[in-house]
Every structure is written in structure tokens, then in C-alpha cells.
Amino acid sequence: ASQGLNVRELCVRSIFAAFCFHAYQQVSYMILDMVSPVTHSVANSVKRVVIIVSSVIFFQTPVSPVNALGTAIALVGVFLYSRAKRMKKVQKTN
């Protein structure tokens, strides 16, 4: 019985997870309303990189070379996008 399924705790955690996901979606839509879809997508990529890096640090998860390469590609992509966006603003002002 001590290893059985606690239905009440499962329901509470499910409701809390649903509430958190709903709040995340609402914030995401509010941000999408303020920025371009491309900027939103880049920010989402940065968020994923931050989550991966923080989980590696916090949980001390070993990182395979493929995972490290994927994270590096995402970071380089974000860097190049921000540089291109900055250059576009400079061209508009000239």
C-alpha cells in the first residue's frame, strides 16, 4: 500500500502542471503580440538552451558530443540573428 498510487496527489500535481502550462502559454502569446514571430522563435531557442545548460549543471547530467554540438549551434544561431538584426537597424538609419 505504501508504494501504491496516491490518486489525490496525482490529481493535485496534474492540476498544478496544467495551470503552469496555461500560464506559460498566456505569457507566450502576450510576448508574441509584442515582438515579431522570428524574435519569439529565437527567444524560445535561447530558453531551451538555458534549460539544457541549467539542468546539466543542476542535475550533473553527462553531455554527449552531439548534445554539446546542438547547443553550440543554437547559441551561434541566436548570436548571428542578433547581429543581423542590429545590422538591419543600422542600415535603416543610414
Query: Per residue of the chain (94 residues), what is the pLDDT tens digit?
Result: 466 778 889 999 999 999 999 999 999 999 989 988 888 888 887 888 788 888 889 998 888 899 889 888 888 887 888 788 778 777 777 6
Domain residues for the domain of 63 are: 35-93
Residues 89 and 45 in one domain: yes
Which pTM does this prediction carry?
A: 0.58
If asked whether residues 71 and 59 sit together in one domain, one would say yes
Same-domain check for residues 40 and 18: no
Grid cell digits, residue 43: 527567444
**Looking at the 3D structure of the chain, how many domains does it have?**
2
pLDDT value for 16:
97
CA-CA distance, 85 to 79, in Å (whole number)? 10
**Does 44 lie in the same domain as 15?**
no
Whether 40 and 7 share a structural domain: no
* 61 to 14, 52, 91: CA distances (angstroms): 26, 10, 44
* pLDDT recorded at residue 26: 96
